[in-house]
Structure 1
Amino acid sequence: MNVVLAMSGGVDSSYTALMLKEKGFNVSGVYMKLHGRPNYHEKNIENGQRVADFLGISYEVLDFTKEFNDAVFNPFIKTYEAGLTPNPCALCNKNIKLGALLDYAKSKNAKLATGHYAQIENGMLKKAIDLSKDQTYFLANVTKQSLEDVLFPLGDKFKKDIKEQALKIPMLKSISEQKESSEICFVTTNYTDVLKEHVEVNQKGFVKNTKGEIVGEHDGYMHYTIGKRRGFSVKGALTPHYVLKIDAKANEIIVGSKEELFVKEFELGNINAFCDFDELECKVKIRYNTKEVPCKLIKKEKKVLLEESVYALAKGQLAVFYQGDLVVASGFIV
């Protein structure tokens, strides 16, 4: 079988290349250049080329910067402009990795393999064995159809075992000892530094309470996300205040108590379903590092009714719905 493997230069995709080669697949490695962040690509490409040479496989650099700008970066900017919280990794997985790159693999009459920690079972996304590394949350926006031509070889592996094995292989030892980045790939320091290159971020505005009364000032609404409690003033405040809502058009933030950040229902702008349903009893995750909460997902109304409250629900983020270890649906919060 022909396999195109996304090789980022890190230990996961490098070890995946070794695994696939040992299993007899005809592997072609590719590196995706998605942005122009200075000094980001050189070391990664060098690592990928070294591994490819060691394994005797081809290695190609694909320039997807235009596709990435159109489908991921520009929406990232526009989402913050709208006063929402973007999820660029979910967009990248759908439109670039299991989008443009998958199309490239198909053009080569090949399957696509990546180093994601996830599994595919009966055409459905399934959590990785290593739940501490599971990436189904960020993959849940992809189409079910795209999974037909994708392999996730690390889904039934534990990260600690991958690193342990890689350390035993001279070629992979230095790669496995590198510090791994968990940040957004095009963000060097923080997201506002990226925004400042494209939009006016520092625009002082009013802080209001839930009654609509002006109670303080802030430095520009794009500095804030739902639940933030610092970086703005509230006159005479004796208790902590948290961002409850962002009004982008008025350049205002609405603040209140921590208790006001808990919600028991919300709506979705879209539903990406992996199975047929009208109403679904399942569990939902509203951010990557949060626990799953039992809920009812009503497809026609695009509404989610929660059995227990969730904290600091942020519009623009991805809600991912699970039944057991399977992803059954996802949708962006509105």
Structure 2
Amino acid sequence: MSGGVDSSVVAKLMTEQDYDLSAIYMRNWDTRDESGTDNGCEWKKDWSDVQRVCKYLDIPVQMVDLSREYWTRVFEPSLAAWEAGATPNPDIWCNKEVKFGALMDKLATKDAWIATGHYAGKSWSSPAPQDGTSPRPKLLRPTDHNKDQTYYLSHIPEASLSRTLFPLAPYTKPEVREKAREWGLPTAERGESMGICFVGQKRRFSDFISQYISPKPGPIIHAINGKVLGTHNGLWTYTIGQNARIPGLVEKMFVSGKDSSKNKIYVVNGSNHPLLYKSRIFAQDWQWIWADSPPVALMLPGGLRARVQFRHRMVDVACTVRSGHEDGSIEIDFDEKQKAVAPGQVAAVYDGDWCLGCGMIMHAS
């Protein structure tokens, strides 16, 4: 439970079934790492809300401190990626390494399951009787595609997915909110929680990261004529595709690329310049949720026809997926060129509503 309305409704839904229930609140970020004090820390309000809901529903609850695991497995690798000019997604690695990794390891028994407030669905495969194999879990998009969080779950290990329930799969967000009001849950009117968990909603990302990464000034260069147009304070301060906002320029310039070896950022005129669009991506550290049985079509000449999503809230696009590269990377060719594809982003591949797995984008062309 996070303290939000979604996990609160999940808790109530679970009480209506025959489960032996207990609740867990994960503390993933230690404010003392930044300021030396816990005063004013948001986790205290979250923990208080979780306790109020659990008392209301008569569910035992405990807090599990996973801040050390979060720091080493999620935050430090993300810092290294930002400093190198990449665009990591800490929330995806948090799900893999912490929520469905370290937390699973800390469960009291190995046959315990987790119910979570993610908007996602799950079904089980139906193997042929002659195979003699057991059904395998499939991660599916939920009913509410506007709240779909399967992109964030695309790196979940199969073993963890097998032991996870997604009770919100058939509901829309408005329906969940209405249920919370109907049941009188203490968090029924609590607002949405958005953004990276360690940054919070009240701070600018750049102000936060500057506490951990020292400025590293370099030139901002026009990608067409090579003219130096300005200076940046570090590759992490700009994202590919965004408005560069260069002081003194009347015309808007947009980031088209970064050179981490030379600490240079390249920009182009206008938000629809051809250099902002890419035909294909190459992804590394690929993980199919069914790790031991990737799609057979990958190795065929025509490749695997699928859909890919490389940002949260984007509509997935048609593509062809191929493997077999000497470096072990996965190649994904878009049917239509895509804008603002950045190294470090996660590319998740789907067969319809079925999420097959994901990898980290190395480069695009």
TM-score of the superposed pair, with normalisation by structure 2: 0.84
- Alignment gaps of 5+ in structure 1: 1-6
Alignment pair present for 1:152 and 2:166? yes
Instruction: Give the whole-Å Cα distance in 1 for the aligned partners of 2:198 and 2:123.
Output: 32
For residue 13 of structure 1, what is the amino acid of its counterpart?
S
**Kept after mapping to 2: 8 A contact 1:206/1:214:** no
Q: Take 1:331 and 1:309, find their aligned partners in 2: how far apart are those partners?
A: 19
Which residue of 1 is the match for residue 232 of structure 2?
A: 219
3-state SS, counterpart of residue 320 of structure 2: strand
Q: Which moved more, 1:22-31 or 1:277-286?
A: 277-286
Change (3 A) 1:195 1:238: closer
- Following superposition, the deviation at residue 212 of structure 1 comes to 7.4
Measured after TM superposition, the shift of residue 238 of structure 1 is: 6.9
Cα deviation for residue 113 of structure 1 reads 1.2
> Cα offset for 1:211?
5.4
The answer to whether structure 1 residue 303 and structure 2 residue 331 are counterparts is yes
Alignment counterpart, residue 25 of structure 2, candidates 16, 27, 31: 31
Counterpart of 1:127?
141
Mapping of 1:189-200 within 5 angstroms? 189-200=203-214
> Structure 1 residues 75 and 212, CA, compared in 2 at 3 Å: closer, same or farther?
farther
How far did 1:179 drift? 1.5
Give the secondary structure class of the aligned counterpart of 1:139: coil
2:152 aligned counterpart, secondary structure: helix
Partners of 1:26 and 1:238 lie apart in 2 by: 63
Q: Is the 8 A contact 1:218 1:231 kept in 2?
A: no
CA drift at 1:66: 0.6
Aligned residue among 272, 279, 286 for 2:310 = 286
Aligned counterparts of 2:221 and 2:52: Cα–Cα separation in 1? 56
CA distance in 2, matches of 1:108, 1:52: 24
Provide the C-alpha distance between the structure 2 equivalents of 1:77 and 1:332, rounded to a whole number of angstroms.
Answer: 15
Give CA deviations for 1:153-173 in whole Å, capped at 9, x if unaligned. Answer: 111222111111111223x1x
- Give, in angstroms, the shift of residue 263 of structure 1: 0.6
The CA deviation string for residues 8-58 of structure 1, in whole angstroms up to 9 with x for no partner, is 111111111111111121111011001124421111111111111222221
Consecutive aligned runs of 4 or more in structure 1 exceeding 6 Å deviation: none
The equivalent position to 2:265 in structure 1, one of 253, 257, 265, is 253
Matched with 1:4 is none
Letter aligned with residue 125 of structure 1:
L
Q: 2:219 touches 2:230 (CA, 8 Å); kept in 1?
A: yes
Which residue of structure 2 lines up, in the alignment, with residue 175 of structure 1?
Answer: 187
CA RMSD of aligned residues (A): 1.8
Greater Cα shift, 306-315 or 136-145: 136-145
Counterpart in the other structure of 1:17: 11
Q: How has the CA–CA distance of structure 1 residues 144 and 300 changed in structure 2, closer, same or farther, with 3 Å as cutoff?
A: farther
Aligned residues: 323
1:116-172 deviations in Å (ceiling 9; x for gaps): 1101112111001111111001100112232111111111222111111111223x1
Counterpart in the other structure of 2:74: 72
- 1:209–1:254 CA contact under 8 A, matched in 2: yes
2:356 aligned with 1:328, yes or no? Answer: yes
Partner of 1:3: none
In structure 2, the partner of 1:87 is 89
Mapped to 1, the partners of 2:219 and 2:212 lie a distance apart of: 23
Deviations 1:38-85 (A, max 9, x none): 421111111111111222221101000110001111112111001000
Matched, 1:276 2:295: yes
Moved more, 184-193 or 205-214: 205-214
Match for residue 279 of structure 2?
264
**Contact preservation (8 Å) 1:105, 1:112:** no
| AA matched with 1:261 | L
Q: 1:224-281 deviations in whole A, cap 9, x for unaligned?
A: 01012233358xx674321111223433201124221101111001221134332310
TM-score in terms of structure 1 length: 0.91
